[in-house]
Amino acid sequence: MLSVVVFILGINMGAIVIMVILITRMSFALQNSLAAPKKEDPSSPHLGNSSTMPTANRSSNEGGSQTALLALWGRSQASKMKLPGATDNLAPVLMSKLSLFGRADDKEHFAFELGKYLSVVCSSLSVLGYFLTGAIFEDQVAYVATLGNTGLVTPMHCRTRWLDDVVERFIQDHVEGRKSCQTIKTEEVNALANVIILGSGYDTRAYRMTSLQSSRVCVYEIDAVGTSQEKRRVMDALLCGESGSAPSEQSAHGRMPTFVTCDFESQHWMERLIQNRFDASLPTLVVWEGVTMYLSLPVVTETLNVIAARGRSFNLESDGNKSIEESQSTNAQSSPDWYIAFDYLNPDWAGSQLWRFAMQFAREPIHSTFTKSAIDALVDTLGLDVMEHLCDGEEIQSKYSVVVNSTVTNEIEGIMGNYGGFVLARTRNAKDHIR
C-alpha cells in the first residue's frame, strides 16, 4: 500500500513540475517576443529546416546560456540528492541565485525573481520525489525526450566526477610531482601548469577544488560574453557577501581564475588567451565540458588542432607563418605536454525531434554529434593520442554513480544510457602523461 501511495505522489509531483516548467517557459517566451522581436540571420548555421527558430546562440546574449544553466541544475540536483560521490557542493549555492528559466531578455525584475522561485519549487519537488521513490525525475523526463537513450542528472553527475578525476590526476603529475622534484626550486618558479576551462559556463572547479587554488596553477575560464558576465555577476555577489567589495585576485576561496570572453564561432580562443597573458610553454590541460555539441565540425576540428600543436596552430610571433604540421614538429621536443578532456553526444538520440526543438527554442541548437569510431578517427587524424575513452553507459554509471572510495553502495535509479562519450587525449609523443 505504501509503495502505491509513494508511486502516486511521485507521478503527481512530476506532473506539477512539468506543468510549472511549460507554463512559465511559454509565458516568458511570449513576454520576450512581444517586448523585443528577434531579427533572424539567414546566414547563421543551424540544424533542421525550421526558419522560425532563432539562430543566434543565446550564450552571447545578456543572461547567458540556457544549456549551461541546465548543466548547473543537473550538478545541483545531484548534490542535493546526495548521489554517490557528488562533488559539486557549490552548485546548489550558485543555482539559488539563478533561474532555471533564464533571465528575461529585457531583464524584467519580476520575471527573473519569479523564475528563481519556481526553480526552487521544481528542485524541491524533484529532490523530495527522489527520496520518496528512489527515482530521478529529470532523468525520466530526459529519457522520454531523447527517445529512450539518456537521462539528465546522472550524465551531468558522472561527467563532473570524471572530469574532476582528470583534473586531480593532471595536477598530481604536473604540479605536485614537479614540486617534489629536486631539480626544481619552487621558490624560483611561479606557475607550473595551466588549466583551461573552455566554454566554462557555470563551472565551479576553480572555487571548490583545492588543487586549482594553488599559486602554481593558472586557471583560465573562457566563455561567450553573455554567459561569462552572468557567471561573474553571481560569483562576485557570492564572494563579496555583505561587504559589497569586489573579490580580489587572491580571495578567501583561493586564487581567482582569469576570465576570458570569446565568441567561439568568430574568434580564436588561443588569441584571446594570449591577450590575457597566457603562457603556452607550461603543461596544459583543457577541460572542454558540454561544448562540442553546440559547435560546428570545423570549429571542433580547429580546437583539437590547437591542442595537437600545443597552442601554436596559428600565426604568433614565436611561430611566424608556420603550418600546423611544422609547428607540431618543432614543438614536440621543446614544448610541454597538452591534454584535452571533453565529452560528445551520440547521434542516436541527439536527432530526436523533441530534443532538437527544445535546443532551438533555447537558441542553442545542436550542431555536432559523433560515434565512438568517428571521434577516435578525428582525434587520431589531428595528431592526438587517446588516453581514455568512456562510452559505455553502464560502465560509466557503475564507475561514477555506484563506487565511492572503492566501496560499492546501492545503485541509484538514475539513467546514464547512451549519452555519448568522455574522451581524454594528449599531444602525440608526449614526454609525460596523466596516470
List Cβ neighbours of 378 (8 Å cut-off, separation of 6 or more).
300, 301, 304, 370
Most confident listed range (50-54, 268-272, 383-387): 383-387
Share of the chain above pLDDT 70, in %: 68
d(CA 340, CA 306): 10
**Stretch 118-146: mean pLDDT, rounded?**
92
Tell whether the model's pLDDT for residue 60 goes beyond 60. Answer: no
Residue 325: pLDDT band (50, 70, 90) is very low
> Global pTM?
0.80
Q: Give residue 434's pLDDT.
A: 74
Provide the 10 A C-beta neighbour count for residue 388.
15
**Stretch 4-8: mean pLDDT, rounded?**
48
Tell whether the model's pLDDT for residue 110 goes beyond 80. Answer: no
Tell whether the model's pLDDT for residue 360 goes beyond 70. Answer: yes
The 10 Å CB-count burial string (b at 16+, else e) for 90-116 is: bbbbbbeebbbbbbbbeeeeebbebbb
Tell whether the model's pLDDT for residue 194 goes beyond 70. Answer: yes
- Residue range 18-45, pLDDT digits in tens: 555 544 544 444 444 444 444 434 333 3
Provide the 10 A C-beta neighbour count for residue 358.
18
DSSP state of 435: -
**Stretch 359-383: mean pLDDT, rounded?**
91
Tell whether the model's pLDDT for residue 1 goes beyond 70. Answer: no
- Residue range 129-139, pLDDT digits in tens: 999 998 999 99
Q: Give residue 226's pLDDT.
A: 86
CATH of domain 153-427: 3.40.50.150
Residue 149: pLDDT band (50, 70, 90) is confident
What are the residue ranges spanned by the domains of the chain? 2-34+46-135, 153-427
Closest CA to 364 of 39, 22, 37, 47: 47
- Residue range 280-315, pLDDT digits in tens: 999 999 999 999 998 899 989 999 999 999 876 544
Q: What is the spatial order of strands in the sheet that 217-223 belongs to?
A: 258-261, 217-223, 193-198, 284-288, 338-345, 420-427, 384-390
